[in-house]
Structure 1
Amino acid sequence: MDESDHYSEDDYLSDTSSTGSLSTFRPENILNEMARNIILYNPDDELFGAPNINTNRLADFNPDLTQEHPYLFQLDVVMVEPPEYPKENEIIRLRSVKASTVIFPGQKVPMNNNYGFDNFSTLHNEKLVVLLLFENERDYHLHRQDDITLPRTAVIAKITKFTADRLNRDTCKRIEFEAIQRCKVLDLEPDTYATVKVLPETREYCEELLTYFAQYYPEERLRTLLENDIVEFGFWACSNIFCVQKVKYQLLEMKTTDERIATVLELARKIKSFKCKNCGDVLSDTSKVVRMGSHEIAGQFVNPGGVVHDLITVREIRNYQFYGSAVQDFSWFPGYSWTIIQCACGTHIGWMFESRYLRPTTFYALSRPNIKNEEVENDEENKTVFL
């Protein structure tokens, strides 16, 4: 088991002096949403652990809030005007940023300046950047930008919003990127710039893949996406399929939308369970997946230490144990407290989220790097594609 699989409680507890409690930073629209579903709160009730919850008093969780990352962007947020996109096959030079997870066009990823990113504080001055991607987290930590093998597949991303430093308005502390196009990295200048070629995309319609994802996501939204932009639909499917990071990177490298959609569909037919990467115990399965984001089944979230986590949310898990107690500060899902969970073997696998006033009252966020899909890994016929 890698050292990266072990986490201490301090890695996840936030600095309450900077973030405050959940109630102090909750955006106004959360209060408005809950006001429409008024709840009679009894101050004598315990906050957690009540044996009986009256489901008639619960308000549905609003998944649109998750996409805004309110735990990170609370005050002094600057929204960025969308830039002009590069043309297919165009060669351009852009600022480069290392990303610890594989990101597809259409996905958003938040970052902060607490994790040692070089030249992070001035990134908000760029209209576009290149996100350098790695097959696994170990490579991300081992490689500097000047020892990466080229050419390499990456993504071009735009900056959607950032938070400036209150003491120095010319620097940023937090930033959100949205990947927009795949590219091939042709040249790298150490820790600064990359010369890239924008990769073209082709199209193919896939009704079966839409039907598969419709069990987790509103079908009308998927159909609209498919009819409006098949390329974007293909990237959405890649980012939401339940597979490990190495497989996701292989999907990103594929040259056509046809190939990506066909591969994602094959993965969808095979993947059934989520298992602990260390011991192999079954933790959950695809029938237990619950959507807690407005645009994605899965999602990327950053903790106070600057670590970006790639998550899948499920309503039930097994073979797990708690590590520490429930915490309200810096919750990725507004209105929920969170508790670290481990596999029975002691490996960190994610978090449990709880609320007395939102539906669902409990769900679990599994960390993708710490789970595996044995159905794919054991498929010898397709090992050249998936392994």
Structure 2
Amino acid sequence: MSDSDDNANNLPDGQMENGHVPMEVEPNNSAERQSGSARSHDQFDIDLPTSHRYLGKLDNVSGCAFYDDGEITTLAAIQTNTLVFPGFTLPLVLNNDLEINMLQRHTQKKNAFVLLTPTKDFKSVFAYGVIMEIFETHLRNDVLYLKARSRQRCQLVPGKEIKTLVGELYQVTVKVMLEPPITSPISNTQLNSLKLRARFKCTDYREFNKYRKYRQYHLCQYPLATWVYDKHEMCFLRDKLIQGLTSYYLIEFIPHDPVQLSFWFVQNFQLKHEERLKIMKIRTAIERLRLELRYLNMKRLICCAKCEAEIAQQNNVFPMSKDGVQSNYCNPGGYVYETVTVSKATNFTLIGPPSAQFSWFPGYSWTIMQCKMCSSHLGWQFTSANLKPDKFYGLAKNGFDVKIVTEAA
């Protein structure tokens, strides 16, 4: 959302506007609540932001876009400044007739496109992206609203031209990247006599410890201590990362599947752009988790991208969406904002009155936030008179930078 967000889309009569029911058609059970300061406060439903109901009613798209590992394919591509990892959703609003017609033509047979992101200096296109599957779309008043889900990572094929179709729409040739099977780093060196007894795909580190003596029999032939090899096991890395993340997030929000966890970490822990790009191109979950453990041990601050004034701390972030603390949202002008929700913020001023139009969080009104020091756009303050929390902040990823205060030991 930006200064242009007051130009919200006009929905047909009877539909929900901006994700919440207008006051004149509010259901009776809501009208019966007590008014004023005595009104009850309901906990906000974190399932609502992921539905992106501010886009209005969309039509389901059938079919599934899935490619084999290593498959090379040519698809339409859209470039944004956001990153979307497998399993997460991207909303889009297209206002350009030429872009709409071109995208519809390219996705008619394959309901998928490639999402491109810039390099760390924001001057060119990063060599890795994700294949997005369109699952909901609707053309209304010459504006195309759609939602796409990230399915697979991919790599631009070297030597193949990035062809500009129209505006921000391109055509690219990519090679699909799939997750390799999770195995123990010592599974191929195990003695045949121990293969029936030792287990290498333990999902829990406590279960893994039950088979420690069999590992010791095998690892005694190598020069390093057993714990050195333990640190390269998937269950060890996963449990260590989850243990560290519980300092910032409730454990029920943290996935336990190692692949999902490696992607969830990028969407929730505050990383620098170059750190996120580095994780994007790492092929295996075990390598990603090892690098993420290192990033987890670095103390970080959220600062203004222009003047470096402190805005929030890592422990201020909290989830207002079931996807986590960081999600992508789109304004009526078609600009996609990667937004981080925090409970506390500092060094900002509010611009203009609160507005409920096109609100990404149904039931909340937003007010534009600017940096108190340099007046650059930071994000939005969200407030509600009848929801909990009654106030929080959505920081735009392009408005702040992550400052590393102390490096990992």
The normalised TM-score by structure 2 is 0.74
Distance 2:384 2:119 in 1: 35
CA contact 1:185–1:195 (8 Å) conserved in 2: yes
Distance 1:319 1:295 in 2: 27
> In the alignment, what sits opposite 1:110?
91
> In the alignment, what sits opposite 1:231?
259
Task: Return the offset for 1:259.
Answer: 2.1
Distance 1:63 1:80 in 2: 24
C-alpha change, 1:61 and 1:117, in structure 2 (3 Å) is farther
CA contact 1:244–1:371 (8 Å) conserved in 2: no
SS for the counterpart of 1:182 is strand
Alignment match of 1:212 (pick from 239, 244, 248)? 244
C-alpha change, 1:211 and 1:199, in structure 2 (3 Å) is same
> In the alignment, what sits opposite 1:45?
none
Say whether 1:164 aligns with 2:139: yes
Distance 2:303 2:15 in 1: 32
Say whether 1:132 aligns with 2:116: yes
> In the alignment, what sits opposite 1:198?
176
Distance 2:241 2:26 in 1: 36
Distance 1:320 1:177 in 2: 33
Alignment match of 2:4 (pick from 2, 11, 14)? 11
> In the alignment, what sits opposite 2:352?
324
CA contact 1:159–1:175 (8 Å) conserved in 2: yes
Corresponding letter in the other structure for 2:48 = L
Greater alpha carbon shift after TM alignment, 89-98 vs 333-342: 89-98
CA contact 1:19–1:25 (8 Å) conserved in 2: no
SS for the counterpart of 1:333 is coil
C-alpha change, 1:25 and 1:104, in structure 2 (3 Å) is closer
Distance 2:269 2:27 in 1: 30
> In the alignment, what sits opposite 1:334?
362
Distance 1:321 1:57 in 2: 29
Corresponding letter in the other structure for 2:147 = E
Alignment match of 1:184 (pick from 155, 159, 166)? 155
C-alpha change, 1:96 and 1:35, in structure 2 (3 Å) is same
CA offsets, 1:43-95, max 9 Å, x none? xxxxxxxxxx55x71011111000011111x13x1112351521212222222
The alignment covers a number of residue pairs equal to 342
C-alpha change, 1:272 and 1:128, in structure 2 (3 Å) is same
Say whether 1:154 aligns with 2:129: yes
| Within-5 A mapping of 1:30-41 | 35=29, 39-41=33-35
SS for the counterpart of 2:346 is coil
> In the alignment, what sits opposite 2:69?
88
C-alpha change, 1:306 and 1:280, in structure 2 (3 Å) is same
Distance 1:86 1:337 in 2: 41
Gaps of 5+ in 2: 165-169, 183-233
Task: Return the offset for 1:368.
Answer: 1.5
C-alpha change, 1:15 and 1:288, in structure 2 (3 Å) is same
Distance 1:233 1:251 in 2: 12
C-alpha change, 1:246 and 1:268, in structure 2 (3 Å) is same
CA contact 2:249–2:318 (8 Å) conserved in 1: no
Task: Return the offset for 1:16.
Answer: 6.6
CA offsets, 1:193-233, max 9 Å, x none? 322111232443311222333455552453xx424xx2222
SS for the counterpart of 2:163 is coil
C-alpha change, 1:263 and 1:277, in structure 2 (3 Å) is same
Corresponding letter in the other structure for 1:213 = L
Distance 1:263 1:306 in 2: 34
SS for the counterpart of 1:300 is strand
Distance 1:213 1:34 in 2: 42
SS for the counterpart of 1:71 is helix
Distance 1:356 1:23 in 2: 19
C-alpha change, 1:108 and 1:16, in structure 2 (3 Å) is closer
Corresponding letter in the other structure for 2:314 = T
SS for the counterpart of 2:128 is strand
Say whether 1:70 aligns with 2:53: yes
Corresponding letter in the other structure for 1:199 = M
Distance 2:328 2:177 in 1: 24
Task: Return the offset for 1:350.
Answer: 0.6
Distance 1:324 1:280 in 2: 24
> In the alignment, what sits opposite 1:315?
343
C-alpha change, 1:307 and 1:271, in structure 2 (3 Å) is farther
Say whether 1:373 aligns with 2:405: no
Give the greater-gyration-radius structure (CA): 2
Distance 1:329 1:360 in 2: 19
The normalised TM-score by structure 1 is 0.78
Percent of matched pairs sharing the same residue: 23
CA contact 2:381–2:393 (8 Å) conserved in 1: yes
RMSD: 3.3
Distance 1:132 1:105 in 2: 14
Corresponding letter in the other structure for 1:92 = T
Distance 1:289 1:113 in 2: 30
Task: Return the offset for 1:274.
Answer: 0.9
